[in-house]
Amino acid sequence: MNSKEIVLKQIEEYNNQDIDKCLGYCDDEIEVLLLPNNESLFKGKNILQGHLESSFGTELFEEVEVLEAIALGDYVTTIERKTKISTGEKRTLLIIYLVKGSLIKTMWAARN
């Protein structure tokens, strides 16, 4: 699979709320950063797992729709619309993924 396919498959498994398959596309040391200041939201697959477990199967879960995905080598940029299942509330994010060795290593997220 190429970088774009890996990112889209990880998002698909996220939407399926399959934590094991979703995390299977992530590096053990995955880091999620918030733009524009590169603020670290969390680092490590175990912390990501805890974050996902807190919303999977609950009213907090937000389904992701990929509006656009662009790949450039190891980098994939997506524009995603997240919809909270319980309320229908929507928000849009721009996320840049760095994929190395078939695993997502870093994610940079910009949100409004």
Domain count, the chain: 1
The pLDDT score that the predictor gives to residue 112 is 76
CB 24 within 8 A of CB 6: no
Per-residue confidence in pLDDT tens, the chain, 112 aa? 999 999 999 999 999 999 999 999 999 999 999 999 999 999 999 999 999 999 999 999 999 999 999 999 999 999 999 999 999 999 999 999 999 999 999 999 998 7
Q: What single-letter DSSP state applies at residue 100?
A: E
| Exposed e or buried b per residue across 71-95, where buried means at least 16 C-beta atoms within 10 angstroms of its C-beta | beeebbbbebeeeeeeeeeeeeebb
For residue 81, the enclosing domain spans 3-111
Total-model pTM? 0.94
CATH of the domain at 51: 3.10.450.50
The pLDDT score that the predictor gives to residue 77 is 98
The pLDDT score that the predictor gives to residue 3 is 98
Closest CA to 78 of 19, 22, 8: 8
User: Which residues does 55 contact at the CB level (< 8 Å), separation at least 6?
Assistant: 61, 62
